[in-house]
Amino acid sequence: MSKLIGSCIIGQSGGPTSVINASAYGAIRTALDNECITKVYGAANGIKGVLNDKLYIMDEEDAKELELLKYTPSSALGSCRYKIADPDVDDTDYKRILEIFKKYDVRYFFYNGGNDSMDTCNKISKYMSRVGYECRVMGIPKTIDNDLYGTDHCPGFSSAAKYIATSIMEVYHDARVYDTGMITIIECMGRHAGWLTAAAGLATYAGEGPDLIYLPEVDFDMDKFIEDVTAIYKREGKAIVAVSEGIHYADGSFVSEAKTAATDGFGHAQLGGLAAMLANIVKEKTGAKVRGIELSLLQRCAAHCASGNDIAESFAAGKAAVENAVAGVTDKMVGFACNRENGYKCETKLFDLSDVANTEKKVPREWINKKGNGIEQGFIDYALPLIQGETGLPKENGLPRFARLKKVVAK
Amino acid sequence: MSKLIGSCIIGQSGGPTSVINASAYGAIRTALDNECITKVYGAANGIKGVLNDKLYIMDEEDAKELELLKYTPSSALGSCRYKIADPDVDDTDYKRILEIFKKYDVRYFFYNGGNDSMDTCNKISKYMSRVGYECRVMGIPKTIDNDLYGTDHCPGFSSAAKYIATSIMEVYHDARVYDTGMITIIECMGRHAGWLTAAAGLATYAGEGPDLIYLPEVDFDMDKFIEDVTAIYKREGKAIVAVSEGIHYADGSFVSEAKTAATDGFGHAQLGGLAAMLANIVKEKTGAKVRGIELSLLQRCAAHCASGNDIAESFAAGKAAVENAVAGVTDKMVGFACNRENGYKCETKLFDLSDVANTEKKVPREWINKKGNGIEQGFIDYALPLIQGETGLPKENGLPRFARLKKVVAK
């Protein structure tokens, strides 16, 4: 394999995570240090930054600020939700990308995102190959949803899981403080896959978590749900429930959808969310005091509670993407292969972009209990190693000191 | 002052905080080590535990588990919201308390709570004095609301403030990730005093916080609010707003009250909360994408993000209560006197229970900007020292290891 000399672009796409910047930093740092890579650009808002010719010069950034990316949540370069067209239907975007690649002599393209981003990578790679422009394209995964095919887990999931389990353990203590009855319903993200909600089971494993857990992998039955909650409430005087935002009835309709029919006192549609809605229903059925809590954005940006393993692995994924590309690899996503037999071992592994792009990984049915309202040990064994270790996030004046980039735009 | 020998009771009351157990531990540890105190009891669910003769023997607990109370959120002994009667109207409760005090030879009573708890302390103290039963009664403050009179600040507030500022800084990054417009509305606790919402201003001070902050200390004007948000959104493309749950119109009616008229798709009253309601209104007025986030219980139980200073001071308050009582003091609350001139210094100080019981401390008007939509430097100078330092919370399997008490009930 001949040496390929040129500049590189790193872009971030899709919903952010606590550690997507750790991956970006892994790629940026490695690229800056590599002699085959002449200049390192960060695309402003993912592929849109390429299309708009808005690239930040990473070489201009202070090394210390770049290093803080390891601990900085959200996408520091900016993100997008831009779905690139099929080049056979419309190749406008591809022509423009090629133009920009030529302008900056871009020979390496690293894209840090979820399912759709891997699809974008794949299409760009194929187009460049077809038009004979040599460019190595690598995907670096991220998604709190943990639904990417092939890889053992996705960077970002572990930190969200750690935050969810930690917060629910704290809520568990809070919710048991009075000797009066109390039911708490906690809503986690995950529209199609229940990984994040399953993470609530880690709190249960620690002895301080939900009594009931409902994932979208199992059809939701409102009557059965109320029966389950009522039984625990009657026995214990307390009940804690974790639900995925994506729970749905057997006909596929989301449980949360009913709320769209509602309006508030001003005549606007209700925005209260699933937790509030279920809390309302349970309150009426049981007469108990019920509180709904939506973990909302907090679960995907709580960098102060990130998993040390997640930060290290996310960094490693970014690093491996650059190293592999320089060594001649293209059209792959860097994922993980893990071994949990004698302690936990995690190594980077390459996956074909085309395999990853269009598959969604769900929580295996055998990791959910038979009744569909709890988590089995299999999931605990899988997830527990992922949430180990703490962040090294430095504090300034008692608050997080996140990265501050200069973002010098290339001309 | 003659030595008073006997046992003591420690009780916890009202809404929990991240550090109320640090105060309890300060009192319990000091009492266990003091030769005048023969036995240390924890009241199950505050004064209700005394009335129900349900006392836990603290002498039976493992020292290491007790020490973990410093880092364990919520009230480990259980709490209550029991309003004790005026003894002139009904002295049933007081007779029962006296009976229990005599049964266990209780000569020291420590009550860890907010406004109402100080009132309970005060009434019990006066009753015991009137009936000639020698018992020293001390209040140990706690409240995330920070609204207790006299003391510089309240144990519990600082940790909630640190969590609120930290989480909002993270949300700030998350909310700016796309190049499309976005407005985020974050609801903080504090029904009558705006201290917690003001803490959002610490994030603004760090350069990564809300553009607008609304406290209950200033009458809320919906038109002005929409005008403020719209102006920032038009200029920046993003806007972040922090609101107190207790914001109200000039006539005193809560802004959140309008929602009670609403119902969801099932015909239940809406429970969505203020943030969701304001998000809905702003969305309609601006056409922007708007997200409402309610920090909910998380802000009062997030022990993993507690302030190191808060933990140390909460412990010191519990310790001082016991030391002062043994030295002959009674009928006082232990608060803080702080000096911020040459670095931050915080010392415990005694306040008359009768002064504390019926006064509510609000955010001074001069710490809120003239427009009533932001925080002035005065508040930052006040609050910044309080959130310094980190928790020493140990982890087990990557998750918090909170105290596990045996709770052996006294016969």
Contacts 24+ apart (CB under 8 A), B310-313: B310/B18, B310/B19, B310/B22, B310/B155, B310/B156, B310/B157, B310/B158, B310/B159, B310/B162, B310/B386, B310/B387, B311/B19, B311/B22, B311/B70, B311/B71, B311/B159, B311/B389, B311/B391, B311/B392, B312/B389, B313/B155, B313/B158, B313/B346
The better pLDDT of the pair A332, A260 is held by: A332
Q: What is the mean pLDDT of residues B308-312?
A: 98
Residue B259 has pLDDT above 80, yes or no: no
Contact A273 B269 (CB under 8 A): no
Residues of A in contact with B166 (CB under 8 A): 304, 399-400
pLDDT tens profile A262-301: 444 444 444 458 999 999 999 999 999 999 999 999 999 9
For residue A329 the two structure tokens come to 């690899």
CA atoms within 13 A on the CB side of A368: 20
CA distance A292 to A276: 5
Active-site annotation holds for A145: yes
Q: What is the DSSP letter of A411?
A: -
Residue of B nearest to A166 (CA): B399
How far does the CA of residue A67 sit from the closest CA of chain B (Å)?
A: 17
DSSP characters over A53-122? T-EEEGGGS-HHHHHGGGG--S-TT-B----PPPTTT--HHHHHHHHHHHHTTEEEEEEEESHHHHHHHH
Q: From the centroid of its chain, how far is CA A390?
A: 18
Name the catalytic one among B33, B62, B91, B145: B145
pLDDT tens profile B22-39: 999 999 999 999 999 999
pLDDT at A258: 66
| Distance set, CA B200 to CA B36, B168, B183 (Å) | 45, 7, 16
Residue B267 has pLDDT above 90, yes or no: no
pLDDT band for position B355 (cuts 50, 70, 90): confident
The better pLDDT of the pair B355, B228 is held by: B228
Cα distance from N-terminal residue to C-terminal residue, chain B:
32
Residue A13 has pLDDT above 80, yes or no: yes
pLDDT band for position B234 (cuts 50, 70, 90): very high
pLDDT band for position B1 (cuts 50, 70, 90): low
Residues of B in contact with A162 (CB under 8 A): 398-399
pLDDT at B309: 98
How far does the CA of residue B340 sit from the closest CA of chain A (Å)?
A: 15
Residue of B nearest to A388 (CA): B398
Residues of A in contact with B45 (CB under 8 A): 178-179
Backbone angles phi, psi at B115, to 5 degrees: -50, -55
pLDDT tens profile B171-207: 999 999 999 999 999 999 998 999 999 999 999 999 9
List the A182-188 sheet strands across, edge first.
A212-214, A238-244, A182-188, A290-294
Nearby residues of A18 by Cβ (< 8 Å), 6 or more positions away: A73, A156, A159, A160, A163, A300, A301, A302, A303, A305, A306, A310
pLDDT tens profile A335-379: 999 999 999 999 999 999 988 877 789 999 999 999 999 999 999
pLDDT tens profile A82-123: 999 999 999 999 999 999 999 999 999 999 998 889 999 999
Contact A173 B74 (CB under 8 A): yes
- Select the residue of B74, B165, B296 nearest A177 (Cβ to Cβ): B74
For residue A39 the two structure tokens come to 């200049």
Contact A280 B270 (CB under 8 A): yes
pLDDT at B272: 52
Contact B177 A74 (CB under 8 A): yes
Residues of B in contact with A45 (CB under 8 A): 178-179
Contact A301 B173 (CB under 8 A): yes
pLDDT band for position B404 (cuts 50, 70, 90): very high
DSSP characters over B186-254? EEE--SS--HHHHTHHHHHHTTSS-SEEE-TTS---HHHHHHHHHHHHHHHSEEEEEEETT-B-TTS-B
Name the catalytic one among A93, A145, A147, A310: A145
**A238 sits in which H/E element:** strand A238-244
Q: How many CB pairs under 8 A join A and B?
A: 240
Residue of A nearest to B17 (CA): A174
Contact A259 B263 (CB under 8 A): no
pLDDT at A17: 96
pLDDT tens profile B53-94: 999 999 999 999 999 999 999 999 999 999 899 999 999 999
pLDDT tens profile A118-172: 999 999 999 999 999 999 999 999 999 999 989 999 999 999 999 999 999 999 9
pLDDT tens profile A294-315: 999 999 999 999 999 999 999 9
CA atoms within 13 A on the CB side of A212: 25
Helix (H, G, I), strand (E, B) or coil at B104: coil
Look up the pTM and report it.
0.96
Residue A59 CB: number of other CB atoms within 10 A? 16
The domains of chain A, with CATH numbers, are 6-144+303-357+390-400 (3.40.50.450), 157-300 (3.40.50.460)
pLDDT tens profile A208-260: 999 999 999 999 999 999 999 999 999 999 999 999 999 999 999 999 886 44
Strand ranges, E, within A309-352: 332-339, 345-352
Strand ranges, E, within A282-326: 290-294
Residue-averaged pLDDT of chain B: 94
pLDDT at A260: 44
Contact B266 A276 (CB under 8 A): no
Residue B262 has pLDDT above 70, yes or no: no
Residue identified by tokens 């640190």 is: B162
